[in-house]
Chain A
Amino acid sequence: MAIQATATHGGPAHQADESMSRGMAGMVFFIASEIMLFGGLFAGYFYVRGQADVWPPEGVHKLDAVTGGILTALLLLSGVVAHFGVVGAKSGKQGQFILGMALALVMGTVFIAGQAYEWFSLMDEGLNAGSTVYGSTFYVMTGFHGAHVIAGLLMLAVVFVRAFWRDFTPSRHLFVDAGVLYWHFVDVVWVFLYVILYVLV
C-alpha cells in the first residue's frame, strides 16, 4: 500500500525519461495507421482510375498544377520552419521555437485557405463530388487530407500556446516532437496527393 501511495505521485523527473520514448512510440504507430488509411484511399483511386477509358473524363476541367504547386511548396516550407522551431526548443532558444511554430501555423492556415478556395472555384466550374468518380476521388482524398491538416494545425497551435507558457524545456518537449512529427506526415502525404492528382494526369 505504501508503494502505491508514492507511485501515484511519481517524481516528474522520473516520468519525463520514460514517457519520452513511450509517447513517441504511440505517435509513430498512430502515423503508421494513418498511412494505411491514405493507402486505402490511394488504392481506391488507382482502382477506379485504372478501369477508366479516359482520365480525367472528357469535359472535366483539369486541375491547375501551378496553383497546386505553390500550395505544395508552401506546405513543405512549413515543415521546414516547424523543424527549425523544434531545433530551437531542443537548444533552449525560446525565440526561434516560437517563431518557427508561428510561421508553420500561418503557412498551414494559408494552405487550407488556398485549398478551400480551390474547392469552391472548381465547384463553380462544375466539378462536383457527385458528377463523376473523378470528382469523388478528388474531393474525398483532398477532404480527408484537409481534415488531417486541420488536426495538425490544432496540435501546432497547442504547441505554440504552451511554448508561450514556457511548458517545454530542452530536456522535456515530447509534445513538440510528436506534434511536429505528425505535421511532417501531413506534408509528405500531400506530396503524394499532389503528384497523383495534379501532375500525373
Chain B
Amino acid sequence: MSQDPKNKPVDSTTPSEPSPPSPPAKAAAPPAKKETEAPAFEKGLVSQIISRFGDDKIKVAYIRPLRMKVNVDPLDMVEVATFIRDNLGFDHAESVTGTDYPKDNQIEVIYQLGSYSKDDIAAHILSLTTRTSRDDARLPTLINVYKSAEYHERETFEMLGVYFEGHPRNERFLLPEDWADLPPLRKEFRIRGR
C-alpha cells in the first residue's frame, strides 16, 4: 500500500519490513534479483526514527548506501522533521520537489535533507516524502523546521499546485505574472507539439 508500483526499490529490503533483513527478505524477494543487505549505518539512522514513532507511521521506501527514503503521513510531517533535525543532525533541506503520479491520483512531495555540521553523515541524504491527493493538494509547511525550504516550497506550489499551509507566500515565483494555465509539472499539461 505504501509503495508506488512505479517506484520499486532497485535493491535492499522489501518495503514494509523494517526489521533485520537477511532470512525473511531473501525468501520474499524474487529469485532473479540480486539481494543485498541494507547498509548498517543507514539502517541505524532509520531505525532511530522508527523506534521513536513506530513503524505504522514511518514507511521505509529504500535504504541504500548514502541514500535513505522514508514516507510519512502529511499530518506527522512536522513532528518527524523536528525529530530528524534535532536528534539525527540533518540540519538543512537541500531541495524540495514534487512528482505527479496520475495513476495513483497522488502527488509525492520529497524533501532531501542533508547535514553540514556532523561529519559522519556529511555525505548522506535522507529523503522525507509524503503523498497527497491530486485533487486537493494541501500539506503543512516545513519552513519553521527547515528555513531553507522556503523558496523551494513556493516553487513547488506554482509548478505542481500543492498548497503549503502556513507558508507566508503561496504565489507564483518563476512563472510569468499572467500565467493562467495548469501548473506546468502536472502530467496533463502537455507541451505543444508533443
The answer on A and B forming one complex is no
